[in-house]
Structure 1
C-alpha cells in the first residue's frame, strides 16, 4: 500500500480534501516528508537503501507518537541527486536543480493546504545542499513557514558496535546501513556478498580527519561501490538502530509541534528593513 512504513491513520493522502480542510490547528501540525534516493549500495544491498531508510525511520517515528501530537507523513521523494554513483547500474539520479525545484513545489503545496511546519527526513548523504536551499527559499517566501531538512542519522543513536575505523571512514553501504536494512527489508540483504572497502588516506592531512576532503565519486574507492565495512552488521543491531532513530525523531516531531516559531513581519528591503526586523521580534 501507498503508506509503506507510515501508520495508515497518520498518512495524509488517505484523508479527503474535506477532512484536511477541517483539521484543527493546522499551523502547528507537522508534515513529514521522507527523502531518499535510488542508487547502488554495493553487491550486498539493494539500490533502494536510501529510499527505504528515509521512509522506514520517518514511519517508525510517526508510529511512536502519542495521539495528542498531530503529525502526518506524505509520500517520500524516492529519487535523489545520486550522480556520484552513476558509474554503477541501477542508479537513477536527478540533478540538483530538479530536486531543489521538486522540494520547493511540494513545500508550496503543503503551505497552500494551510500547514506551516514541514520536516524533511533525508537518508542520502549526497543531497543535503539542495534540500537546505529549498528550505531557506520556502522560508523567505513565507515568513510563517517552519521548514527543516536533516539527515535521518543526525539524531542521537548508539554506534558503540561500530569499529573506530568505521566511525571515521565509513560513508556508504557500511555497517550502519546494512544493519538497519536487515531490520527494514531483510530479504533484500545478501550478506554472503558483503565485503569491506575503505578509502585510502587523503593526501592532504591538514584538510581532513580521515574522510576525503576533495569531491569524489564512489568508484574512486574501488569496484564494489562500498565505502565501509558491512560484514559485522546484525539484525539485532539494525532493530536497535531503528528503535533509537525512530524514538529520537518522534521526540523531534513533538518539539517541532510545540515550537513557537517567530513570524517575520513583511517589510521592504532597504531603509525600513532593520526597524521591521526589530519590531517582528517584540
Structure 2
C-alpha cells in the first residue's frame, strides 16, 4: 500500500499528520477503516487473503472518488474473529470483546482527527456482527460523527455477479470462486493454481442463506479449508468482481460525503 504512489492522496498511513488533520477538517470528510483477518484460505491462497482483498477494494473505491470528496483509508485492521479456522493452522484470531474494543478505539482516534464520517468496511464473514456493532457503540457517544459499517462483498449487485460466475450456487463460499478470482486478478503470484480444491456447499457469498448464523469448525466443512469451487475462478472474472465491489463502495463514499456536507448529519 505505501509503495503505490497512485494511492498517496487517500492513504492515511503514508500521510504526515498535518495532512490527515487537514483532510479531516474539510466539510463532509470520510475516513474508511478496512477490517480483515489472517486465517487459512485453503491450500491455494495466503492466510491474509481477506485483509488483502478488503484493502484493495477500499483503496480503489476511495481513489475513484478522491477528486470529489475528502477521503482517506486507514491501515487495515488485520486481526479478525476466526476461531472456526484455528484447526487448520496459520490463523491468528482475537476474542470478540478485544476486537470490538479495538475497533471502538480506532474509531475514537479517527474522530479525534476531525472526520465527519467513518465507514468500517469488513472483508471477513466471521467479522460481520463485530463490525456491524461499531455504529451502535460509537454513534451514541459521538452523535456529531456519522458512523457506518458494511461488508464489501455484500455491496455488489448479486444478479450481475451471477451473470459472470462460472460456479453453481455454493461455489462462492470461503476461498471459493469469488475470492480466488479477485486474487488471480490482483495478485496471481500469491495463488497456487495447482492446488485449487474446495468443497461445494449449499450456501455462498451471494444468494439465499449467505447471512445465516451459527458455529462450526471449518475442518468439519471442508477437507482443504476452502468451501466452494475455486477451480472455476479466472482473472478476467476477478477483474469484473473487483470493479463492481469497488464501484459500489465508491458510491457509498460519495453518498456518505453528501449526507454529511454542511454538518447535515442524520
Q: Same fold (TM over 0.5)?
A: yes
- Structure 1 distance, partners of 2:31, 2:71, is 6
Secondary structure of 2:28 counterpart = coil
Q: Which residue of 1 aligns with 2:14?
A: 14
Q: Which residue of 2 aligns with 1:229?
A: 229
What per-residue deviation string (whole Å, max 9, x for no partner) do you get for residues 167-194 of structure 1? x464201000000011121101111111
Q: Which residue of 1 aligns with 2:31?
A: 31
Count of aligned residue pairs for this structure pair: 257
Q: Which residue of 1 aligns with 2:73?
A: 73
Please tell me whether the aligned partners of residues 24 and 30 of structure 2 are also in contact (alpha carbons under 8 angstroms).
no
RMSD: 2.5
In the alignment, is residue 198 of structure 1 matched against residue 200 of structure 2?
A: yes
What per-residue deviation string (whole Å, max 9, x for no partner) do you get for residues 235-268 of structure 1? 101111111111111111111100147658xxxx
1:1-282 to structure 2, matched below 5 A, reads: 2=2, 7-23=7-23, 25-26=25-26, 28-157=28-157, 158-159=160-161, 160-162=163-165, 165-166=168-169, 168=170, 170-199=172-201, 209=209, 214-260=214-260
Aligned-residue offset at 1:25: 4.7
Aligned-residue offset at 1:22: 3.6
Please tell me whether the aligned partners of residues 6 and 60 of structure 1 are also in contact (alpha carbons under 8 angstroms).
no
Unpaired runs of 5+ in structure 2? Answer: none
- Judged with a 3 Å threshold, the aligned counterparts in structure 2 of structure 1 residues 81 and 4 are, in CA distance, closer, same or farther, namely farther
Secondary structure of 1:52 counterpart = helix
Aligned-residue offset at 1:232: 0.9
- Structure 1 distance, partners of 2:35, 2:141, is 22
Please tell me whether the aligned partners of residues 195 and 229 of structure 1 are also in contact (alpha carbons under 8 angstroms).
yes
- Judged with a 3 Å threshold, the aligned counterparts in structure 2 of structure 1 residues 133 and 250 are, in CA distance, closer, same or farther, namely same
Please tell me whether the aligned partners of residues 28 and 116 of structure 2 are also in contact (alpha carbons under 8 angstroms).
yes
Please tell me whether the aligned partners of residues 178 and 233 of structure 2 are also in contact (alpha carbons under 8 angstroms).
yes
Aligned-residue offset at 1:23: 4.0
Q: Which residue of 2 aligns with 1:276?
A: none
Please tell me whether the aligned partners of residues 197 and 229 of structure 2 are also in contact (alpha carbons under 8 angstroms).
yes
Aligned-residue offset at 1:51: 0.4
- Judged with a 3 Å threshold, the aligned counterparts in structure 2 of structure 1 residues 104 and 198 are, in CA distance, closer, same or farther, namely same
Aligned-residue offset at 1:108: 0.3
Aligned-residue offset at 1:215: 2.2
- Structure 2 distance, partners of 1:155, 1:245, is 6
Tell me the TM-score normalized by structure 2: 0.87
Aligned-residue offset at 1:21: 3.6
What per-residue deviation string (whole Å, max 9, x for no partner) do you get for residues 136-162 of structure 1? 110011111211111111112432233
Secondary structure of 1:41 counterpart = coil
- Structure with max Cα Rg: 1
